[in-house]
Amino acid sequence: MERPVATAVSDTPTHPTDETTTAGAESTDSDLVPFSDLARACYCPRQCYYARRDDDRSVPASVRSVQELAYRYPELRDSETDLTAAPVAVPPAEYRDRLAGLAERPDWAALSAPPERDVYLAGKDCHGVAHKLLPGVGDGDPPPVPVIVSPGAPHETGVWEPQSVRAVAAAKALAWQREREVPLALVEYPAHAVVRSVRLSVRRTAAYRRALRTTRGIDGPPPRLRDSPRCGPCDYREECGVETESLWSRLRP
C-alpha cells in the first residue's frame, strides 16, 4: 500500500540515520547521496542541511537497541523470554501474536535469520546500508529484497514517506549493483513486530526522485517549515528558530 504521506511527527525518527553504517561507507563515494540524507530531505530539507553541515550520522544507542530486536525474533517468540526487559512497544502477548503472524510469511526464515546484514549498497545516485538482504521468494531466480529496519512506529496502513524513499533508494542501489531489476523492498518495525512492503511503483519512484533533487539542491539553509508537528522532536529546532504552537495555545482566545 502506498497511500500514506508523512504528515505526523512519528513518520521518521528524530535521528533518521537509523542505519548501521559500515565504517567509512558513507564517505567513500562523495558524488553519491546517502540514504539518510534522502530521508531527512523528504522529512525536512532544513534538517538535512543542518545534519550535513554538522556531519551528523551518529546512531543513538536507543535506536540500535530497538534495531537489534529485528535479529532476535526466534528468541523473542519464546515464552521463556522476558519481553518486559526488551524495548518492545506493545504488550508481550500482542507482540508474540504479531511475531506468530510474521512466521506465516514465506520469507520468515530469512527475515528472522538474514543471510546478509548491514550490507553496504552503492548505486548510480545514492548509497547507504540495507540492514538485511533477503533472497527473493518465488519460482526461477527472484531478485533479492533489501530491508530497512526502523526504530519507529509504522503507519496504520502503509509506510511513511521518508522511510519509503529510503527503501526505494536501497532497492535502486541494489539493482544498480546486481544489474537487475529489484521491484520490492521491505521496511521493518521490530519494536512493533510489523513488516511492510514497498513496491517500486511510479508514485514511490517519483517521491524518491523528488527527494534526490531536493538533497542535491541544498546549498544553504532551506526555508523553515511552518507550524509543523515535525519540528517538535527535531534536534535542530532551537537553532532553526522555528516556532511551534501547542494545541492549547491555539485554543486560547
Q: Is residue 155 assigned to a domain?
A: yes
Q: What is the pLDDT at residue 26?
A: 45
Is residue 4 a part of any domain in this protein?
no
Sign of the four-CA dihedral 32, 234, 205, 187: positive
pLDDT of residue 6: 38
DSSP string spanning 186-239? EEEETTTTEEEEEE--HHHHHHHHHHHHHHHH-SSPPPPPSS-GGGTT-TTHHH
Nearest Cα residue to 108 out of 99, 117, 116, 120: 99
Q: How many domains does the chain have?
A: 1
Q: Under a CB-based contact definition with an 8 Å cutoff, are residues 69 and 89 in contact?
A: no
233 Cβ contact partners less than 8 Å away, ≥ 6 residues apart: 9, 14
Would you say residue 56 lies in a domain? yes
41 and 218 Cβ atoms separated by less than 8 Å: yes
Nine-digit cell string for 120: 553496504
Cell of 30: 562523495
Residue 59: inside a domain, yes or no? Answer: yes
Beta partners for 194? Answer: 189
Is 166 domain-assigned? yes
In terms of Cα–Cα distance, which of 134, 61, 62, 105 is closest to 193?
105
pLDDT value, residue 31: 84
Residue 109 lies in a domain: yes
pLDDT per residue of the chain (253 residues) written in tens, 0 to 9: 343 433 333 344 444 444 444 434 444 556 899 999 999 888 888 888 878 888 867 788 989 999 999 999 999 999 999 999 899 999 999 999 999 999 999 999 999 999 999 999 999 999 999 999 999 988 888 999 999 999 999 999 899 999 999 999 999 999 999 999 999 999 999 999 999 999 999 999 999 999 999 989 888 777 677 666 777 677 777 777 755 544 434 444 4
Confidence (pLDDT) at 10: 39
CA distances for 233 relative to 66, 229, 238, angstroms: 18, 8, 11
Q: How far apart are CA 27 and CA 47, in angstroms?
A: 19
Task: Quote the cell numbers at residue 203.
Answer: 508514485
Find where cell 535506536 sits. Answer: 63
pLDDT at 113: 95
Q: Find the domain containing 215 and state its range.
A: 9-223
CA distances to 52, 101, 169 from 46, in Å: 10, 39, 20
pLDDT at 146: 98
Q: Answer whether residue 91 is part of any domain.
A: yes
Q: Give the DSSP letter of residue 101.
A: H
CATH number of the domain encompassing residue 52: 3.90.320
Between the alpha carbon of residue 81 and those of residues 93, 128, 133, the distances in Å are 12, 33, 27
Query: Which residues make Cβ contacts (< 8 Å) with residue 183, sequence separation at least 6?
Result: 143, 171, 199, 200
Any domain includes 253? no
Instruction: Give the total residue count for the chain.
Output: 253
